[in-house]
Amino acid sequence: MSRMVPRKLVLASPRGYCAGVDRAVDTVERALDHFGAPVYVRKEIVHNRHVVSELSARGAVFVDTELDVPEGGVVVLSAHGVAPEVYRNSKARSLRVLDATCPLVSKVHAEARQYAARGYTIVLIGHEGHEEVVGTMGEAPDAIQLIGSVEEIDGLDVPDPERVAYITQTTLSVDETLEIIAALRERYPAVIGPKKDDICYATQNRQNAVKELARDVDLVLVIGSRNSSNSNRLVDVTREMGVAAHLIDDEAGIDPAWLDGVETVGITSGASAPESLVSRVVEHFQALGTELVESHELVDEDVHFSLPVELRRAASA
- Known catalytic residue: 131? no
- Out of 29, 132, 251, 275, which one is annotated catalytic? 132
Cα separation, 257 vs 102, in Å, equals 38
Containing H/E element for 198? none
Catalytic residues: 132
